Amino acid sequence: MIAPAWYQATACSWLSFLAVLAGLWILYRLRVRQVARALGARFDERLAERTRIARDLYDILLQTVQGTKMVADNALTQPSDTDGMRHAMEQISKWLGQAGTEGHSAVSALRTSSTESSDLAEAFRRAIEDCRRHGSLQAALSVKGDASEMHPVVRDEVYRIGYEAIRNACAHSDGDQLQVELTYARDLVVRISDNGSGIDPARASGREGHVGLAGMRERAARIGAKLTIASSEASGTEVRLVVPGQVIFRFRTASLLDRLRALFAS
């Protein structure tokens, strides 16, 4: 009689069978978790897209209403000026048409960029012209560096943030000077400053809900940008937005230092 080897024993066979079953069960659970994470990421993406569309619709409506009100109020101050009244009505009609087009595109999730091109400077120049035409601010725009091709989604968020800052300065700063600076370097830097009376520190820090400022902060966070708002009664308000180059600029390879910075930041 020769005793069976340990791997020939009945107990070892049962243990091997149970080990195979356990391995299959672990693989099954891992696959279930993988599918669940994928579905969760997809649902989160859909929720984020719905939230973005809702925010865009709100911004389009708010900016259109406030802009048309500013034009209408300016025209009503001179009711005898028929040419000015006609120009105001044409401007209001143009803005309402643009708002309808952008709203329709946002609902269908196919909204094109609000800037219509990679030229942020031109888009901000149009916003400044609207502010200068319907307000008392003396506005100026300066561009430093060479413009680079930008991701349209990120560029659109930058434009919305800048437009909101320009509109706030035009409507609420009570100042007479507005400076908009656009700097193309390793990162994109947008700086908007005025010499007005400033804003409430509680609102600037976000402790008191201000829809415009809250929307600007949310947009900046969504694209990984840094938004700072400094305000005082003596020096006015300065809004500074820094967008990482690897986020907004296309066809730009991040350096090793940029990758390490992004790694530690995340």
Q: What is the pLDDT of residues 102-154, one digit of tens each?
A: 666 555 544 444 444 457 888 888 888 877 776 667 888 999 998 888 887 78
Extended strands (E) in the chain: 138-144, 177-184, 188-194, 226-232, 236-243
The confidence score (pLDDT) of residue 118 equals 56
Q: Would you say 206 and 217 are in contact if contact means Cβ atoms under 8 Å apart?
A: yes
Q: What pLDDT band is residue 261 in, cutting at 50, 70 and 90?
A: low
Mean pLDDT of all residues in the chain? 77
| Amino acid identity at 180 | V
Q: How far is Cα 166 from Cα 157, in angstroms, rounded to an integer?
A: 14
Q: pLDDT above 90 covers what percent of the chain?
A: 14
The confidence score (pLDDT) of residue 113 equals 47
Least confident of 11-20, 101-110, 163-172, 240-249: 101-110
| Every domain of the chain and the residues it spans | 118-266
The pairing of strands 138-144 and 177-184 is: parallel
Q: Which fold has domain 118-266?
A: Heat Shock Protein 90 (3.30.565)
For the chain, how many residues are written?
266
Could you tell me the pTM of the whole model?
0.55
Beta bridge partners of 230: 238
Give 197's contacts (C-beta < 8 A, 6+ positions apart).
Answer: 173, 174, 175, 233, 236
Most confident of 39-53, 85-99, 105-119, 237-251: 237-251
Q: What pLDDT band is residue 255 in, cutting at 50, 70 and 90?
A: low
Give 173's contacts (C-beta < 8 A, 6+ positions apart).
Answer: 137, 194, 195, 196, 197, 236, 237
Give 194's contacts (C-beta < 8 A, 6+ positions apart).
Answer: 137, 169, 173, 175, 177, 178, 179, 236, 237
